[in-house]
Amino acid sequence: MELWEQWLSARWSYLVAGQEIDATWQVPHPSTAGFTRTDLAEGHGQLVDWELAVTDGSRIHVHEFADGRLVVHRDAINPSRGPLEAMMHWFSESALGKAVFVTGSVALIGVAVALVGGGGKRKNGAKR
Interface with Zn ion by CB under 5 A: which residues? 61, 75
CB of 87 to Zn ion, least distance (A): 15
Least separation, in Å, of the C-beta of 83 and Zn ion?
17
Q: What strands, in cross-sheet order, belong to the sheet with 70-75?
A: 21-22, 70-75, 59-64, 48-53, 36-38
Question: Do the strands 48-53 and 36-38 form a parallel or antiparallel pair, or are they unpaired?
Answer: antiparallel
Closer to Zn ion by Cβ: residue 43 or 125? 43
Closest residue to Zn ion in the complex (CB):
61
Residue 63 CB, shortest distance to Zn ion, in Å, is: 8
Is 27 or 61 the residue whose CB approaches Zn ion more closely? 61
Closest C-alpha to 35, from 10, 61, 56, 55: 61
Q: Closest CB to Zn ion among 100 and 106? A: 100
CB 59 within 8 Å of CB 52: yes
Q: Work out whether strand 21-22 and strand 36-38 pair parallel, antiparallel, or are unpaired.
A: unpaired
Looking at the Cβ atoms of 33 and 93, the one nearer to Zn ion is 93
- What minimum distance in Å lies between the beta carbon of 73 and Zn ion? 6
